[in-house]
Structure 1
Amino acid sequence: MKRVLVTGGSGSLGKVIIRELVRLGYHPSILSKKTNYISPTGSTILMGDLTDKRSLPDINTDVIIHCASNAMDSENVDVKGTEHLIGAINKDSSPHLIYISIVGVDKSTFSYYTHKRKAEVIIENSKVPYTILRLTQFHDFVVQRMIYNLQDEESPEFKIPEGLKFQSIDITDASKYIAELVEKEPLNTTVTLGGPEVMSLKEMAQIYFNQINRDKKVIEVSESTLDSEFYAIFRSGSNLCPENRYGSIRWSDFLSKRIIEG
């Protein structure tokens, strides 16, 4: 069984990746700076902080799944953290570095995206064998950022920016694909992966309100405070990869499961 190290293992994606790896029989290590963090059953903790290269241990492993990221501090975590991670790899080791990125990072000036792209370039220019996996947004992202954040509970209307589209993927489907990459040879290139369907945010929101039995009228707004560089990403279509559909859990399936589990 290959030795696997996961960065960002305590995050939303990392937790599911760890669970999938353990299910497959791996005993992954989780790079963490949290002294009180209790690792999930079947995994171990490797102490270290990506933003502080002096804290990082000598990394000697077969595979690194690098999904540590912080949209609020992306220059330190995503850019410098990637530099520090590569610098900590044992010189006699040649692990397969699997980097989790985002579809469209090469087509946007949004700061978080430009930092993710810089991290990609650092990996591409390193001597470490790699696979860069660009994913579309998760279903959870659409619920949290595009529905919960924009919703006015008191209003019968749900106003959203006009023209936004998503090809969201379920986090469990994404984690299964990532776990499959562990057994594969490094591709030394970039792979894009999206969910099984492309939908407008208007369609997704209407399905959501139907699922929770809320009578809300979804209205697209063409010009408002909802217009920003962030929303422009999802209006441009650069966040989509319809030629690379993956996964079996569609938006409606995800919502049904979420409602059942509360």
Structure 2
Amino acid sequence: MRVLVTGASGRLGREVLPRLRDGGFVVRAVSRHPRENSTVEWLAADLATGAGLAEALDGVEAVLHLASSPSRRTHEVDVLGTRRLLVAADRAGVAHLVYVSIVGVDRVPLGYYRHKLAAEQVVAAGPVPWSVLRATQFPEFLEEMLRGASRLGPVIGDPAVLAQPVDAGEVADRLVAMLAAGPSYAIAEFAGPQVLRFDAAVQAWRDARRSHRPLLPVRIPGRLGRALRSGGLTTTVTPTGTRTWADHLADTYGGTGRR
């Protein structure tokens, strides 16, 4: 099966490409700018304009749609770009499109999440047989957030916010399995094995880095805070991944991520 992967240069794309190759798929990767890669066919295409999509989809049987733009032109790329991709995929006779979304897009009032939810709806209403996987946050994202929250010294955040970080490689494994299984016409969720409070995640991060930065508790107000504290970013769906936040910290810093 020839599979087109959008957003192939991102964190999840880098995990998916070798797994697809090893699974016997013929892989065509796309990003906005051309890249050199001896193991996959790499083309340039732009979801925001539609440039290159017809060429990228020529001869493709399935699409793994990872591309997203959280910080700029989000509606243009995530919503309208997904619609452009579906129209082009339908013309090319694509038999299955798998879209990657985020756990909580239907519960957490963030602008980016509203766009991801709208993109899910575009996929479900579109002409191409589909499956959607909502994943929780990657541990690398959580770590980037902690670094940003500690720029002024203490780690600033709401201690009771809940997260359920999931390893990108395990998400990639699930996506390969979904492609092999064919269209489900359903939204599935996938998460890490452990629900963490923000303060516990901070403590493990500090221990792994041998840092003594204190946690400065700041309660997130309003609907957003209530959604994050009540588990809007988590799921009870099983099975889950197996790699924990402590595993990520041990790989990154050595040790266990705990005292």
Alignment of 1:43-82 (within 5 A): 43-58=40-55, 59=57, 60-72=59-71, 73-82=73-82
* Inter-CA distance 24–92: structure 2 relative to 1 (3 Å threshold): closer
**Residue aligning to 1:104:** 104
Q: Tell me how many residue pairs correspond in the alignment.
A: 251
The answer on whether the counterparts of 2:138 and 2:168 sit within 8 Å (CA) in structure 1 is yes
Identify the range of structure 1 (53-62 vs 244-253) with the bigger mean alpha-carbon deviation. 53-62
Runs of at least 4 residues off by over 3 Å: 226-233
What is the letter of the counterpart of residue 135 of structure 1? A
The answer on whether the counterparts of 2:159 and 2:197 sit within 8 Å (CA) in structure 1 is no
Structure 1 residues not aligned, in runs of 5+: none
1:34 and 1:228 mapped to 2: Cα distance? Answer: 40
The answer on whether the counterparts of 2:64 and 2:99 sit within 8 Å (CA) in structure 1 is yes
1:148 and 1:233 mapped to 2: Cα distance? Answer: 23
Structure 2 residues not aligned, in runs of 5+: 255-259
* Inter-CA distance 179–13: structure 2 relative to 1 (3 Å threshold): same
The answer on whether the counterparts of 1:29 and 1:45 sit within 8 Å (CA) in structure 2 is yes
**Residue aligning to 1:15:** 14
What is the letter of the counterpart of residue 233 of structure 2? N
TM-score normalised by structure 1 residue count: 0.88
1:63 and 1:201 mapped to 2: Cα distance? Answer: 38
Alignment of 1:107-118 (within 5 A): 107-118=107-118
Report the identity percentage. 26
2:205 and 2:248 mapped to 1: Cα distance? Answer: 10
The answer on whether the counterparts of 1:202 and 1:219 sit within 8 Å (CA) in structure 2 is no
TM-score normalised by structure 2 residue count: 0.89
Report how far residue 54 of structure 1 moved. 4.3
Deviations 1:151-200 (CA, angstroms, capped at 9, x unpaired): 146x4x43322421101101111111111112102100100111101010
* Inter-CA distance 180–215: structure 2 relative to 1 (3 Å threshold): same
Q: Please, what is the CA RMSD of the aligned residues?
A: 2.0
1:216 and 1:200 mapped to 2: Cα distance? Answer: 17
Report how far residue 218 of structure 1 moved. 2.6
What is the letter of the counterpart of residue 46 of structure 2? D
Alignment of 1:123-134 (within 5 A): 123-134=123-134
**Residue aligning to 1:195:** 192
